[in-house]
Chains A and B, each alone.
Chain A
Amino acid sequence: MKSLAEVLKEIRPEADFAASRDFMADGMLDSFDMVALVATLDETFGISISGVDIVPGHFRNFEAIAALLSRYGVAP
């Protein structure tokens, strides 16, 4: 199974996610990337992230995304 880092790399291959604490502020993810990321996470981990959880705060950095995924029983 792909890791979270691999999923992010798939969405934005050119971005250096490891160097960022705020993916939105650093221009690595916009709202459409967030949608693409959710669709990929759903598919990769066999979950359906609730629409109400699709807010920028849950996708700000690795820790935030990992915390969200853990609520769906996924340990990335």
Chain B
Amino acid sequence: MNFTFHGKRISGLLALVPANEGSFLEEMANFNFPRSRSLKLAEVMGYDKHRLVQPGVCVSDLAVFALEHLFAGGLLIPDEIDALVLVTQTPDHLMPPTSSIIQGRLNLKHDMLCMDINQGCAGFIIGLIQACLLLEQESIRKVVLVNADVMSLKTSPKDRNSYPLIGDAASVTIVEREAKDSVIHANLKMDGTRNEALMIPAGGMRLPSTPATAVFDDVGDANFRAKDHLRMDGSAVFNFVQVEVPPMIDSLLSAAGESMDAIDWFIFHQPNRFMLQKLADKMKVPHAKMPSNVVEHFGNSSGVTIPVAVAFNLGARMAAEQFRVCLAGFGVGLTWGSMLLRLGELSFCDLIEYPNTTGIA
């Protein structure tokens, strides 16, 4: 499905990672696995450091901290927020919506729209599409897109498939109208028949969490996890990405009438270094144009890896320069989406840390 938006832009971007850092080398002892094979894996996949929230820190804590940072710096005026869109797979509660919790904690105005979107690695793209759709309304002039996940809390520390790469993070992206007739192209695809490739089996209504769902099972390959934990079919997800993403980007560029060479940066979701480099090779994109360094520094925080990649790799340049950027996300659902836009001359593009404290009681 193609989308085209006129007269909208990203005007600011803030990424937030916990100050608390885990190290793959130190965590290797958790995995019942030879050290030499773990080290080889670290080298190929880019496992090294990852940022993890401390117990008690929830998505609303990260979001409130990031938004208060912007308010305090005069970078965002609370009353100008007409819509708060939160993309997360790890809400504070099943109900109410975490966006409402954030609105309440910040005492934002009542005359606004708050909504949660349950999405993962393509969530940043879906959030941007939703923000642009909302801006078609006369009454909505500025949308705050918060993308945040604390997936480490739902990942087994004894699952070598997932834990070494998982990271927690949040981002705030300001999307607003602009007078110029800039064009944003987007492309989105979904395949719910493959919904079990990435799943947390227990904790919803189908299989409520119980003491039994918290028991660690031997799931093979020396991995142990509970039904309350994230389950990822790594091979299926890898193959899905390699098969589906390159044609999606071709289709996006074709719809926009652009060539691959005209793109300055391909900022994709960051599952791991190996997967991104294989994607770049297949698309014939130079590795230098497709950063793949987020997992090794911060971990994979689902859709938030895209704004983290922008802030980490281009933060200083985003204030003064403009780039033709292709964004892409792919994951749970299964969902794969991409966006082509001009990104730059931002009023802020920073990466900050959430201090080592617990969340609110």
Q: Are A51 and B275 in contact (CB under 8 A)?
A: yes
**Measured CA separation A34–B239 after assembly (Å):** 13
Q: Are B239 and A54 in contact (CB under 8 A)?
A: yes
Kindly report which residue of chain A lies nearest to residue B278, judged by CB atoms. A51
Knowing A52-B242, A52-B243, A54-B238 touch, does A36 contact B44 (C-beta < 8 A)? Answer: yes
Q: Chain B contacts of A30 at CB under 8 A?
A: 221
Query: A residues 2-47 with Cβ under 8 Å of B?
Result: 11-13, 30-36, 39
Q: Are B40 and A54 in contact (CB under 8 A)?
A: no
Kindly report which residue of chain B lies nearest to residue A50, judged by CB atoms. B282
B279 part of interface (Cβ distance < 8 Å): yes
SS class, residues of chain A in contact with chain B: helix
Kindly report which residue of chain A lies nearest to residue B242, judged by CB atoms. A51
| A interface residues, how many (CB within 8 angstroms) | 18
**Measured CA separation A29–B239 after assembly (Å):** 17
Q: Are A50 and B40 in contact (CB under 8 A)?
A: no
**Measured CA separation A48–B242 after assembly (Å):** 13
| B interface residues, how many (CB within 8 angstroms) | 23
B85 part of interface (Cβ distance < 8 Å): no
| Closest CB in chain A relative to B282 CB, distance in Å | 6
A75 part of interface (Cβ distance < 8 Å): no
Q: Are B40 and A51 in contact (CB under 8 A)?
A: no
| A33, A36, A54, A56: the one within 8 Å of B242 (CB) | A54
Kindly report which residue of chain A lies nearest to residue B241, judged by CB atoms. A51
Q: Are B239 and A52 in contact (CB under 8 A)?
A: yes
Q: Are A35 and B242 in contact (CB under 8 A)?
A: no
Q: Are A35 and B274 in contact (CB under 8 A)?
A: yes
Q: Identify 12 residue pairs between A and B in the complex whose beta-carbon atoms are under 8 Å apart, listed by A's number.
A: A11-B37, A31-B238, A32-B234, A33-B37, A36-B40, A39-B44, A39-B274, A51-B241, A51-B279, A51-B281, A51-B282, A55-B235
> B-contacting residues of A (Cβ < 8 Å)?
11-13, 30-36, 39, 48, 50-52, 54-56
